[in-house]
Amino acid sequence: MSFNASVNAYSVNGDMVNAPAQAGVTVVVDTAAIAAAVWASPVAIALLTHAAETWGRMGLDAANPLLTNQTSVTFGTVSMALTGDQTSSTLTRQ
């Protein structure tokens, strides 16, 4: 998606510059390109990975059900060892 907006000033190397009123400066923003750049960033990829794993750990991914037994918890490609006693449990990612 993109949109056009008429402005009275524009930025050149970070400095605001007044545009001549008769010039009718138009700014075109390519939101698809901006979104693609944001989602391709390492931070966004890490956040999406964590969100997907949280979703799976909660058992909400119908394609990759959460499987739990006496010694492990698995969902999708994630496997965790389950250890403990009557009072506590420890999950360790494998």
Q: Give pLDDT tens digits for 9-61.
A: 554 545 555 555 445 556 667 888 888 888 889 999 999 999 999 999 999 99
CA 6 to chain centre: 32
For 12, other C-beta atoms within 10 Å of its C-beta total: 7
Q: Compute CA 65 distance to the chain's CA centroid, rounded to the nearest angstrom.
A: 22
Q: Mark residue 14 as left, alpha or beta (left: phi above 0; alpha: psi -120 to 50; beta: remaining).
A: left
* CB burial string 33-64: b at 16+ within 10 A, e below: eeeeeeeeeeeeeeeeeeeebeebbeeeeeeb
Quote the CA–CA distance of 13 and 20 in Å, as a whole number: 18
H or E element that contains 80: strand 78-84
> pTM of the prediction?
0.54
